[in-house]
Amino acid sequence: MRPKLTLYSLLFCSIMASAPAYAVETAEPNEPDTVVVSIDSLAIVEKYVQALQAIVYQRDSTDIQDSLATVKLNPYFFQLLSTPTLYNAPMKQELESGDDSISGDPQLRRLQAINKTLAGLYVSHPWLISQTEANLKEQTAIRDDVKDKMKSENNLSDKVAAGTLTPTVDEKIEVKTRRPNFWKLNGSTSLNFTQFYYSDNWAGGENRYTGQTTLNVSANYNDEKRLTWNNNLVMQLGFTTSKTDKRRAFRPTSNLLQYTTNAGLKAIKTWSYTAQVVIKTQIVPQYNPNTDEAVLDIFSPMSVNIAPGMSYSFAYGKKKKFTGNLNIAPLSYNIQYVQRDNLVTRYGVRAGHHSAHSFGPNILLNYTWPITKNVNWRSRIYWFSNLHLTSVDWQNTVVFTINKYLTSTLFVNPVFDDRSLQWKGKHGYLRMQENLALGLTYTFNK
């Protein structure tokens, strides 16, 4: 009998929770003690009768569990159906959320709706509230044990703290601190050969072989703060066979040894205070055909220019591909040295002396322009004048890359130098050398 009575009670509560057939009417707000409740009795009776009929039908069924499963009990609305009470959850929800956002969980949506309804009741009809949540707790109407937080027996944070993050290895670990390497080494070397053949009945021409090797190496220091030190070494040496020269089988065609060093201290932005030294001479001696009279030799002549000044670095173009460096020295010191006695007077040195000294402005411009992916133009312009004599050396190297090791190189070198009458010709003191070669090239960077 007791299970049936409990079932009837729960059924009645469910009916009351789902029945929208009652309303609460109150007197004026100044009379909070006067409450008039109007109930639609007919609707409640109809629902109650329908529920009783369903229970009678379920009572006659053989499976009591199935009958109980069909009755949907909903205890979540007890706050709305019980005595109007001031709960903490509705006020906390209104203060913390500040918006009407709805959770995606069905149960949370139900709780939010209940809290929203109660909050509206507190605002519109505060005189209906007869007790608080604290009063219910004193009556033990609300269980406190269900609010106890579950505690984990294993605290993972304690286990991590008790361990160590240092890797354990069998071998001893030795930590070495290395200073950054501010040096960059790069350069290229090439080797080119050319063959000329003419038959006996060919008018003019001479069978010969030519070869040329070029080495261009740079070692640059930059601490990325203030100090720079750039060093560049260029060596060009080429030979050709000649049947007209009975004394020597090979004659030099390219004969250059050039070293440039530049130390800089950053001044502002791309400007630096610099001290530059340029040394230029030959590698092997060169003679007039069929004689032992040398016209060039190592250190004969040799020019040394010492130029303190300022340097400007630049990069132009959309992708900053045209890059270079301009070194300007308002006053530089130039030495022209000739070691061979018979060549002293040929290169602006007085008889009985081996060197000539002069002062004057100096400009050195280096720039690189990768015209296309396979075409690169590298140029060097050197100018010095003692306000009486002038020397201009413009070296242009255009490299056409065929593949990683095979390249074609065009070298054009116009020179103007009026220090010696030996160099005066059809175009005055303007001289020119040019060669186009195909050969092997190896480039390295470190």
Domains along the sequence of the chain with CATH: 2-147 (no CATH), 184-445 (2.40.230)
pLDDT value at residue 149: 62
pLDDT per residue over 226-237, tens digit each?
999 999 999 999
Amino acid (one-letter) located at 410: L
Predicted TM-score (pTM) of this structure: 0.59
Measuring CA to CA, which residue among 329, 326, 394 is closest to residue 360?
329
pLDDT value at residue 339: 93
**Could you say which DSSP state residue 428 is in?**
B
pLDDT value at residue 362: 96
Measuring CA to CA, which residue among 445, 440, 437, 444 is closest to residue 195?
437
Give per-residue burial for 76-112: e unless 16+ CB within 10 Å, then b: ebebeeeebbbbeebeebbeeeeeeeeeeeeeeeebb
Residue numbers of the chain with a pLDDT score lower than 50: 1-11, 14-39, 62, 65, 67-68
pLDDT value at residue 23: 42
Q: How far is CA 115 from CA 49, 75, 144, 432, in A?
A: 32, 15, 20, 97
Contacts of residue 56, defined as CB under 8 A and 6 or more positions apart, other chains included, come to none
